[in-house]
Chains A and B, each alone.
Chain A
Amino acid sequence: DARVTQTPRHKVTEMGQEVTMRCQPILGHNTVFWYRQTMMQGLELLAYFRNRAPLDDSGMPKDRFSAEMPDATLATLKIQPSEPRDSAVYFCASGFTGTGVNQPQHFGDGTRLSIL
C-alpha cells in the first residue's frame, strides 16, 4: 500500500533550536497538507500546497515557521527558533485534486515534537 512517510517520528529538543520535519507524499498526489494536533486546539491546518505551490499558510506563525516543497517527493516544515508551545504532533497528508476529482487525504504517522 502506498503511504505518506514522515520523519522523524519523534523529536525532542531544547527551546531555541531549529526543527525540521520531512514528508514524502504518495507518488502521484498533487496536494500536500501540514496539520498540527494539540490537546487544546485539536487538529489545525498549518499549510497547504498544490502542485508544489503554497496555497494557504494562514494557520502558520510566519515569524518562526516555514513550509516548502523543494520537489514533488519532499515537503518540509521548519521551526526556527522553536518554543515550548510548539510541542505537538505534526501530521503531513497528501491527496489528489483535479477537475472533477477530489480524493480523500492520506495521512502520515505524524511527528511528535517536544520542545523543552
Chain B
Amino acid sequence: AQTVTQSQPEMSVQEAETVTLSCTYDTSESDYYLFWYKQPPSRQMILVIRQEAYKQQNATENRFSVNFQKAAKSFSLKISDSQLGDAAMYFCAYRSGFPGANSKLTFGKGITLSVRP
C-alpha cells in the first residue's frame, strides 16, 4: 500500500518570503501522480499543483513549484513571494497511474502554514 508522510505539522513564513513544505511517499509503483492541495479555513480542497512521475521536469504554477526527487521519493512544495492568502492547510497526495487501478487519492496528514504580515 502507498503511504504519504508530511512530518512537519506546522510552518510559518514572513509575507513576501519563500517557504518549502516537505512530503515523502512510499510506493512500489513506477507510474503515479503526486499532488498538493490547499485547504483554507473555508475548508474547500483546492488543487495547487500536480506532477506526473514519468516527467523529469518539476511542475510550476505561478508562485508555486515542486522539487520532485523520484529516487528519494520526495515531493516538496515551494511557495515564493508568500501572500497572506496562502495561509491554509496543505496536503500532499498520491494517486496510482496504472490504467484500471483505483484512482483514489492517498493523503498525508497535512501541514498548517501561517503567513506573518
B50 touches A48 (CB 8 A): no
A19 contacts chain B at the CB level, 8 A cutoff = no
B-binding segment of A20-28, A61-69, A73-81, A104-112: A104-112
Interface size classification for chain A = 20 to 34
B109 touches A42 (CB 8 A): yes
B90 contacts chain A at the CB level, 8 A cutoff = no
Q: How far is the CA of A100 from the CA of B56 in the complex (A)?
A: 19
Task: Say whether chain B's binding surface is mostly helix, strand, loop, or mixed.
Answer: loop
A-B interface contact total, Cβ < 8 Å: 53
Chain A residues contacting B91 (CB-CB under 8 Å) are 43
Query: Which of B33, B46, B99, B106 has the most CB atoms of chain A within a 10 A radius of its CB?
Result: B99
Closest 3 pairs (CB-CB, A-B): A107-B45, A43-B107, A45-B104
User: From A96, which residue of chain B is reached at the shortest CB distance?
Assistant: B103
Whether A48 contacts B43 in the complex (CB less than 8 A), given A99-B99, A104-B50, comes out as no
Chain B residues contacting A102 (CB-CB under 8 Å) are 33, 95, 97, 103
Chain B residues contacting A93 (CB-CB under 8 Å) are 45, 105
Task: Say whether chain A's binding surface is mostly helix, strand, loop, or mixed.
Answer: strand
Chain A residues contacting B102 (CB-CB under 8 Å) are 48, 55-56
Task: List A residues at the B interface (Cβ < 8 Å).
Answer: 31, 33, 35, 42-45, 48, 55-56, 89, 91, 93, 95, 97, 99-100, 102, 104-107, 109-110, 112
User: Shortest beta-carbon distance, A35 to chain B, in Å?
Assistant: 8
